[in-house]
Structure 1
Amino acid sequence: MLDVIKVIILGIVEGITEWLPVSSTGHLILVGDVLKPGVSTKFMELFDVVIQLGAILAVVVLYFHKLNPFAPAKTERQKLLTWQMWIKVLIASIPAGIVGVLFNDVLDQLFYKKIPVAIMLILYGALFIFIERKNQGKQPAVTKISGLTVPMLLWIGLFQMLALIPGTSRSGATIVGALLIGISRSVAAEFTFFLAIPAMAGASLVKLLKFGLHFTGKELGLLFLGCLVSFGVSIVAIRFLMKYIKKHDFQVFGYYRIVLGGLVLIAGVIQLIAG
């Protein structure tokens, strides 16, 4: 029963932090150290990635019509625009896809530690505050996904690639990259959601292949429960973010990241002293 409660809490953390630009890794480091279920470390490494499938499903459900190029209610032009949007998602996914396949394990070994994660949390928090203040009073150059050009897509893809460093936050990095080149907050957030589908599905597939399908009944149950909770909470988190940014900017998330980074840094220093 205790493991079930822990997995529910981890699912809630994932569902909230995967979409808000605050770094799910940073939160899972703090929460996961305290609430690690009674399973192997290898399984928990898989769990932390595959639980994202629930979050992906939330995007698919919420944006199913927009994502579906075969929707009967769409005109031929709308279907064409949907296909073009998917092509843009794939183009923007190229940098992270290449680097992720080649170096993801190396990056995790180098940077999946409290102090590097804390530094990335604070750095991108400061970037959010700086960019939002710099953009105050300016009109965004791009207010629709259809307005994204190939150079813009590759730029956003570069920032998604940088998010392979733990603590950066995939959504945080891509939103920062988009805001830097004049893309509106709503387009930046929405396109980030769509980018997550191939990125997170691919990462989950790689982890599953490495782990194999030799789950115990308990592990399978915990994995399913984590995905289910992550799905439900992600629905709420995505709706909240899209409603929030209609009237507010991302500065609050910047300040939050700096505070969280400070907490992770303190935890890292304590760990070094104790070790």
Structure 2
Amino acid sequence: MKRKRRQAIQGIIYVLPSFVLLLCFSLIPICMSIYYSFMDYNVMTQPKFIGLSNYIKMFNDSYFWVSMKNTLVYVILTVPLQVVLPLVFAAFLAQKLADARLGGLLRSLIFIPVIASSVTVGSIWKIIFAADNGILNRILEVFNIAPINWLGTKEFALLSICIVAIWRDVGYFLVIYYAGIRNISRDYYEAARVDGATRFQQFTKITLPLLKPITYLVVTLGLIWGFQAFDLPYLMTGGGPGYSSVTFVMGIYNTAFKQYRMGYACANAVVLLILIVGVNLLEDVFFKEKKEAR
């Protein structure tokens, strides 16, 4: 009995530092955001309870809907490619270059954008996308294509940010998929080859089903990161031109730290939290149904 109690105390001691950090930097801020979302609060004055006024005002705010639309477009454009491209690259590397030095070099090169700071990534791609003498426009000139103002037009600003986000995150998800593919027993593939299965059939009937838990993780991370997109839009376009590339989190930032409407910003943050939780619940249902269907 004493031994079990001692083990329980040791377990609590090990978990306590992480729990304190989670409490201070996640749970308490979430509770405070919910509390202030019902307040008229601008930091300089005492919070004043106004009920659901912030939420009513938010759903009648065109800026809210523009930032929501941009965020949804961002998620729709980035998440599918952040799943498909790493999976294809990982399958190719695992099959063709698993034990070659070139494979390790390629994995390292693809992973470099992941460890680079957002400031570095944004600055480099601003040079590439520059309207005047930008690298990309110079390449287009070789093919007699007129230069494009990638970051200065409403049609291309958000698309350009999505391209950079995909380029940056592919390496992270590739490493996850590569590890998953390498952990699949070779016996499955050898048995499939004996039965006459093609490589495509092996990929669709063996690799994809066995990678479903990893795909769930990749989709979850991609969705969360997509809805929380802030750094690249802020660094590359500042949300412009106009509001064409402003994201939901950038809207919260502008409302809280430029307009000092903290209560209204907290209401936006609560809606974002509900949206992310809701999307992840739908994702759980989708993957659960796929599993049961099998």
Question: Do these two structures clear the TM 0.5 threshold for a shared fold by scoring above it?
Answer: no
TM-score (norm 1): 0.32
Q: Whose relative contact order is higher, 1 or 2, with alpha carbons under 8 Å and at least 6 apart?
A: 1
